[in-house]
Structure 1
Amino acid sequence: MQKVGIGIVGAGFVADLHAESFKRVSGHDVQIVAVAAPNTRRSAFAQRHSIAAEYDTLEELLADPNVDVVDICTPPALHVDMVAKVIAAGKHVICEKPLTGYFDVPVGEADGFDRRKMYDSVMAEMDSLRKIVSESDLVFGYAENYVYAPSVQKSRELLEKTGARITMMIGEESHNGSHAEYSKTWADSGGGALIRQGCHPLSAMLYLKRVEAKAAGRTVAVNSVIADTTAITPTLTDPQRKFLHARPVDVEDIANVIMTFDDGTRGVVTASDTIVGGVRNSLQVFTTESVYLCQISQSNQLRLYHDDSAALDDVYVTEKVDNKGGWQYVLLDELLARGYIGEMQDFIDCVVHGGTPQSDFELAYASMQAIYAAYESAATDKRVRF
């Protein structure tokens, strides 16, 4: 087996998910050889994952000859510059979603900022990065785990076999909000619930429409978007926010988006930071001859009920549920069910054998275009056409 050395940039929640997923890639000798992060979590992260080399900066990590692939798990404002530096260093790159965003706003002052200016800036940046990626012979993996969820991959297989025409899709990712400080402000996150959570079902829809089109020997694209966003949490009293972690400053905590594809079909996306009861990850695919209900989380793999959960304090049950009493929906293998293992398997297969990952730069490009068109639509109360 060929050895593949992984260098991870970042040492937070997503970096942990990726590190655990790399350990389960099969058919290759994948080793996490280095981590770069300028914070106190780095050493604990390195110890948890038996990583020998620790660095303060990306530049130091890129100089390590044992690193073949760089996995970027930092806040999105750092992504584009880091991707360009990794490619310039001649190393393959994996980048966590979202690929980029618009961050050039004063902290807390995104309300009223020109969304068309945001859209134009983001797409110009994406055009520049597309050129860098396409002119290299290196693998770029866009870490959109929904694409690799087993239910979405089975939907892909069925679409390829049947040639069915997708007529409509409905997707959601919602929960009770992020703990991360960067999620509160546009200057740090590039948006709110839509770009952080809604990007997942949105990208999965774009992916499956691409699969459908390829099977039919044609292309497909989004030609218009209409959206509505708002922030509900700031209107609540402290007691009403007791079970909500979201504390938005100038970003949305609810988003609804309708994408219209150039074949007339629709994709409907919901994202929210105001939903208690655990993460809601789902994608419903309706075709001319079938229905695929992808229940990525809150599935029925295992349902638990406890009258008294006091003994479960140190037992992990499921993400974003603070109370372990009552009924619980449990994923028996979250990394697999949510697509994290599948995405790393695909990326490493492409690094070793060549090829383009299923979740590639073009999917990231189309996702960013739809998201920022949605922000413009929500701000102007108008449909945005491409």
Structure 2
Amino acid sequence: MHRTKVALLGAGFIADIHFESYHRFIPEAEVVAVYARNADKAKAFAEKHGIPQWYDDLDAIINDSGCEVVDICLPNFLHCTATLKAAAAGKHIIIEKPLAVTLEEADAMIAACKQANVKLMYAEELCFAPKYERVRKMVKDGGVGEVYMLKQGEKHSGPHSEWFYNKQLAGGGVLMDMGCHAIEWFRWMTNNSRAVSVYATMSTVLHKDITECEDNSVMIIEFENGVVGIAENSWAKHGGMDDRCEVYGTGGVVYADLFMGNAAVSYSKHGYDYAMEKADTTIGWSFTIFEEVFNQGYPHELKHFIDCVQHDKQPLVTGEDGRAVLEIIYAAYASAAEGRKIMLPFHPKVERPVDLWIEGRKK
């Protein structure tokens, strides 16, 4: 069996998760090298995981490691540079969220990958998380009727690395870090329906001493198909990680907590899974079991991308999806500053999305 060779860019928290996903769940791939800006960190990561090569030179790992896929787990401000270098070298790319810091960077990354004829996947794990995917299947099977509102929230007390709090490196706060998950999940659930307006409010409530960026936000997105998405995100919520979604339809409702319990709690007026003729067993309240595998969906998204590379298929979540998420983030920052709904498309020229909020409040 051919094993696709992967170069892992980054040696932090998310890189650990990606390596574990490859190692435990994806025999079709092999991590052959790791890169970190700090040589000691790269070496330690390689030794910890038994990776044969380590680098502190970005060009060297892309061009000399023998990789076919570059997996980007670097801070936001390095996403564009790494993608452009990987595309120029003819490598397929999967990249952690957000796709880029600015829309201009996103456009350059998408164009470079198209010109080089390499695949670019935007790694949104909520599109692959087993429990959330079970919820989506219930909706597709008609379990809640016509969906009119979606809610998703991700909250904890703050990131693990200092760079997240630095607007120059991250481009924004909790909206860039966690709100991007909700945005793409809304698009995923609505078959990529176009967002037409965004309203948001945000503030810095817990980390005022270390960041200019927002650490608590609420965002309302109106989609062209009539669905409303409500995203609640926080770096100010104590008590550990909280990740949950809600689906409201004319014929039912679903509540799913990614980390609590092994079921999605649902109420359906008419039942679902009609193809299996089991609708009677799903009328009323039910507790739909999801696949008990690495809850957040990381192995699933990475396995999907390796399959796309090996069999020349289009990734389900693309660079264009990542760009659409970033445009909505822009609109949310502008809305929070101006106190009004922002209509899309929306493409102001800024160095960092969060500046739309920070500078906008000064006017």
TM-score normalised per structure 1? 0.77
Once residues 308 and 249 of structure 2 are traced to their aligned partners in structure 1, the CA distance between those partners, rounded to angstroms, is: 31
Whether 1:33 and 2:13 are equivalent positions in the alignment is: no
Once residues 295 and 264 of structure 1 are traced to their aligned partners in structure 2, the CA distance between those partners, rounded to angstroms, is: 25
Residue 9 of structure 1 is matched in structure 2 by: 9
C-alpha displacement at 1:185, in angstroms?
2.1
For the residue of structure 2 that corresponds to 1:206, the secondary structure is helix
Residue 133 of structure 2 is matched in structure 1 by: 153
For the residue of structure 2 that corresponds to 1:82, the secondary structure is helix
Residue 309 of structure 1 is matched in structure 2 by: none
Residue 356 of structure 1 is matched in structure 2 by: 314
How many residue pairs get matched?
A: 316
Whether 1:343 and 2:323 are equivalent positions in the alignment is: no
**Runs of 4+ displaced beyond 6 Å:** none
Once residues 262 and 138 of structure 2 are traced to their aligned partners in structure 1, the CA distance between those partners, rounded to angstroms, is: 22
C-alpha displacement at 1:382, in angstroms?
1.5
Once residues 53 and 4 of structure 1 are traced to their aligned partners in structure 2, the CA distance between those partners, rounded to angstroms, is: 16
C-alpha displacement at 1:266, in angstroms?
0.4
Residue 195 of structure 2 is matched in structure 1 by: 222
Residue 71 of structure 1 is matched in structure 2 by: 71
**What's the % identity of the aligned pairs?**
32
| Equivalent residue in structure 1 for 2:261, among 291, 295, 300 | 300
TM-score normalised per structure 2? 0.82
Report if aligned partners of 1:186, 1:250 keep a CA contact under 8 Å in 2.
yes
Whether 1:162 and 2:123 are equivalent positions in the alignment is: no
Residue 127 of structure 1 is matched in structure 2 by: 107
C-alpha displacement at 1:99, in angstroms?
1.2
Residue 51 of structure 2 is matched in structure 1 by: 51
Once residues 335 and 87 of structure 1 are traced to their aligned partners in structure 2, the CA distance between those partners, rounded to angstroms, is: 32
Report if aligned partners of 2:122, 2:317 keep a CA contact under 8 Å in 1.
yes
Report if aligned partners of 1:6, 1:67 keep a CA contact under 8 Å in 2.
yes
Residue 88 of structure 2 is matched in structure 1 by: 88
Residue 327 of structure 1 is matched in structure 2 by: none
For the residue of structure 2 that corresponds to 1:293, the secondary structure is strand
The gaps in structure 2 that reach 5 residues or longer are 264-290, 345-363
Residue 318 of structure 1 is matched in structure 2 by: none
Deviations 1:149-195 (A, max 9, x none): 10222233334443953211111010011131112221121111111
Report if aligned partners of 1:21, 1:335 keep a CA contact under 8 Å in 2.
no
Once residues 210 and 217 of structure 2 are traced to their aligned partners in structure 1, the CA distance between those partners, rounded to angstroms, is: 13
Report if aligned partners of 1:17, 1:335 keep a CA contact under 8 Å in 2.
no
Residue 351 of structure 2 is matched in structure 1 by: none
Report if aligned partners of 1:233, 1:248 keep a CA contact under 8 Å in 2.
no
Deviations 1:31-89 (A, max 9, x none): 11011112122112101211111111120011225201011111000001211111110
Residue 383 of structure 1 is matched in structure 2 by: 341
Report if aligned partners of 1:142, 1:364 keep a CA contact under 8 Å in 2.
yes
**Alpha-carbon spacing, 1:66–1:129, altered in 2? closer, same or farther (3 Å):** closer
Report if aligned partners of 2:53, 2:65 keep a CA contact under 8 Å in 1.
no
**Alpha-carbon spacing, 1:248–1:363, altered in 2? closer, same or farther (3 Å):** farther
C-alpha displacement at 1:26, in angstroms?
4.0
**Alpha-carbon spacing, 1:251–1:65, altered in 2? closer, same or farther (3 Å):** closer
Report if aligned partners of 2:3, 2:27 keep a CA contact under 8 Å in 1.
no
Deviations 1:187-217 (A, max 9, x none): 121111111112112221111111xxxxxxx
C-alpha displacement at 1:334, in angstroms?
9.2
The gaps in structure 1 that reach 5 residues or longer are 102-121, 211-218, 236-246, 303-332
